[in-house]
């Protein structure tokens, strides 16, 4: 018998014995207690167990129907438009439950109780009648306060306000559930800082207060005991250590810092949209054996040329960046190295040398990576390229790029340097066989042909190519030609078509 007494903490056990309140959580322990003490009563209870729990006391987790309160203006029915909860969800008082609509008014219905949703009475788009039950909520014991139904004539909201906001004589605002939690943990509400609306004290505020006191986070269970504060610091140690420590100065007590609680949670989302497209493309790109080739380009002369042409271009209404030059130089070089503008079929049995140079631009939009391409660069002048780039950029940033602009590319350039970076290892976009990533243009010291140190505008380019059909020497020669066009822009004039 003594053994059974020590099963539960004294206070809780006495309370249960005295008031005969039973809770589902500990009913098994209760049963064993009864088994020892009053075996004959147990059989009595066993048969009527369900009824005993429900009828004898309200505290045994009642399921309350939460009725749709009056909306005002004599409205008798509304349409349920959206549920914010589903059966089994946990809700707190004032959480939104659903959205209903009536006659151009959208109403958010909030929960009256803390508890678990047990039943939704209406589907979306069905008509709900004012005064009928909307949901069943399984509440904690002792939460029921005031009338259990909403009164249809007067807005029930005013009653809630009375109990929750205007309780006479008390300045602190807290719901009855919060007050009970504070009382059970012997906390004075006036000592707790409320973080809710209008300084209202929330359940989280009580829990944080307790955590700060004890250095631990406690679950919000009414029967939880408060752990005693941590033992006094070790510095005031046992007498055995004293003789040795007499000569040392008294040590500073180790500060006890409550463990900071990290409440961040992992978040898992399905992959869809732009990300799904990227996953698909890059998984296919994995099959291509990449090799990389990096080089440095001296753009000093190009920088000068562009600053001269910028004004003229803007007078024609087009912004001129460096990209049109990079793209045109690539196209001129591709004429000499058509294998870089080809495509390998799935079985690696045939190479198709593409006639058109459809050069893709990697574009960073706020939704993700887009790679539209400029068609037939081999037929466009640098200015026409600039026009086309502007068009694609405008469409890309406003989300209006179509499939025609997004497919059919044969070679790609990625100007990652516009955001930052020097070297990169770009991934080839199938069905292409090569790609180049351009780093940022930096001003660096370099030696000129007279052995003098001069200021140079240096950009790094990182190429990747499909090693099944392209070898390093080809990539190197292509890169050298591309580089020489850009380092001496005048040579582009000779080869322009």
Partner 1 sequence: MILRLSNRACVLSGSARLKSTLSTYFDEMGKAGIILKSASAGIFENLALEDWIHDHVDLQNRSILLLWRNSPVVVIGRHQNPWQECNLPLMRRLGIPLARRRSGGGTVFHDFGNINMTFFTSKKKYDRHRNLKVVTSALKALRPDLDVTATDRFDILLNGHHKISGTAAKLGRTSAYHHCTLLCSVDRSILSSVLKSNTSEVIRSNATLSVPSPVKNLSDVDPTLDADTIMEAIASQFNNEFGFDSPVITVDPAHEALMPGIHKMTNDIQMWEWIYGKTPKFSVCTSLVVDDVNIKLDMDIKSGTVEKCVVEIPEDWLPPETVNEFTSALNGSKYCPNEAAVLVAAFMRTRSMSADVAGKIHRLCEGVLSVM
Residues of this chain that bind partner 1 (CB under 8 A):
71-73, 81-82, 94, 99, 101-108, 110, 124-125, 155, 157-158, 160-161, 197-198, 270, 272-274, 276-278, 280-281, 283-284, 345-346, 367-368, 370, 398-404, 406-408, 429-431
Give the residue numbers marked as catalytic. 467, 471
Which is closer to partner 1, CB of 269 or CB of 452? 269
Kindly write down the DSSP assignment for every residue of 53-120, as one continuous string: HHHS-TTS--EEEEEPPP-STT--EEEEEEES--TT-EE-TT-EEEEEEETTEEEEEE-SS-EEEEEE
Task: Name the 3-class secondary structure at 441.
Answer: coil
Q: What are phi and psi of 228, to 5 degrees?
A: -65, 155
Q: Where are the alpha helices (DSSP H) in 201-264?
A: 203-214, 242-245
Which is closer to partner 1, CB of 103 or CB of 266? 103
Region class of 104: left (phi > 0), else alpha (psi between -120 and 50), else beta: left
Closest CA to 410 of 457, 450, 456, 377: 377
Please calculate the CA angle 78-84-89 and round it to the nearest 5 degrees.
125
CA 293 to chain centre: 37
Which is closer to partner 1, CB of 370 or CB of 374? 370
Which is closer to partner 1, CB of 310 or CB of 468? 468
Shortest distance in whole angstroms from residue 85 CB to partner 1: 16
Which is closer to partner 1, CB of 107 or CB of 456? 107
Closest CA to 102 of 132, 72, 122: 72
Shortest distance in whole angstroms from residue 73 CB to partner 1: 7
Overall residue count recorded for the chain in this entry: 497
Shortest distance in whole angstroms from residue 168 CB to partner 1: 16
Q: Between the CA of residue 389 and those of 31, 279, 426, what are the distances in Å?
A: 79, 26, 21
Shortest distance in whole angstroms from residue 400 CB to partner 1: 6
Q: Say if residues 484 and 332 touch (Cβ distance below 8 Å).
A: no
Burial of 55 (0-12, 13-18, 19+ CB in 10 A): exposed
Which is closer to partner 1, CB of 100 or CB of 299? 100
Closest CA to 325 of 139, 483, 95: 483
Shortest distance in whole angstroms from residue 466 CB to partner 1: 15
Shortest distance in whole angstroms from residue 437 CB to partner 1: 19
């Amino acid at each position: 018998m003594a053994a059974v007494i020590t099963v539960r903490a004294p206070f809780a056990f006495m309370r249960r014995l005295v008031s005969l309140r039973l809770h589902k959580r500990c009913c098994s322990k209760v049963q064993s207690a009864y088994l020892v003490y009053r075996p004959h009563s147990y059989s009595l209870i066993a048969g009527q167990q369900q009824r005993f729990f429900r009828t004898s006391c309200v505290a045994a987790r009642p399921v309350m129907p939460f009725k749709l309160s009056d909306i005002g203006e004599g409205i008798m029915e509304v349409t349920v438009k959206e549920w914010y909860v589903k059966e089994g969800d946990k809700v707190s008082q004032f959480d939104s439950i659903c959205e209903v609509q009536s006659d151009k008014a959208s109403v958010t219905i909030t929960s009256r109780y803390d508890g678990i949703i047990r039943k939704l009475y209406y589907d979306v788009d069905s008509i709900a009648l004012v005064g009928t039950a909307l949901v069943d909520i399984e509440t904690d014991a002792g939460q029921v306060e005031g009338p259990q139904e909403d009164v249809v004539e007067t807005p029930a909201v005013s009653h809630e306000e009375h109990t929750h906001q205007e309780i006479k004589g008390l300045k602190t605002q807290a719901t009855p559930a919060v007050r009970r939690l504070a009382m059970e943990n012997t906390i004075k509400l006036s000592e707790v800082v409320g973080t809710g609306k209008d300084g209202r004290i929330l359940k989280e505020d009580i829990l944080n207060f307790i955590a700060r006191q004890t250095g631990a986070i406690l679950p919000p269970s009414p029967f939880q005991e408060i752990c005693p504060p941590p033992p006094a610091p070790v510095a005031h140690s046992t007498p055995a250590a004293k003789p040795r420590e007499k000569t040392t100065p008294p040590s500073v007590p180790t500060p006890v810092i409550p463990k900071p609680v990290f409440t961040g949670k992992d978040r898992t989302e399905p992959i869809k949209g732009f990300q799904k497209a990227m996953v698909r493309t890059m998984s296919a790109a994995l099959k291509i054996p990449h090799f990389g080739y990096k080089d440095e380009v001296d753009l000093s002369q190009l920088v000068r040329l562009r600053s001269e042409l910028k004004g003229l271009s803007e007078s024609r209404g087009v912004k001129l960046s460096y990209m049109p030059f990079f793209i045109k130089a690539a196209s001129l070089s591709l004429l000499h190295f058509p294998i870089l503008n080809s495509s390998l079929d799935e079985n690696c049995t045939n190479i198709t040398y593409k006639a058109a140079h459809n050069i893709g631009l990697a574009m960073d939009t706020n939704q993700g990576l887009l790679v539209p391409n400029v068609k037939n660069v081999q037929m466009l002048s640098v200015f026409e390229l600039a026009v086309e780039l502007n068009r694609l950029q405008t469409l890309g940033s406003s989300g209006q790029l179509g499939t025609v602009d997004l497919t059919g590319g044969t070679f790609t350039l990625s100007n990652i340097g516009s955001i930052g970076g020097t070297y990169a290892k770009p991934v080839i976009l199938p069905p292409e066989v090569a790609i180049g990533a351009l780093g940022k243009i930096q001003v660096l010291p370099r030696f000129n042909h007279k052995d003098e140190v001069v200021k140079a505008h240096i950009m790094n380019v990182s190429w990747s190519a499909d090693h099944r059909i392209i070898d390093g020497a080809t990539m190197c020669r292509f890169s050298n030609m591309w580089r020489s066009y850009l380092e001496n822009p005048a040579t582009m004039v000779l080869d322009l078509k």
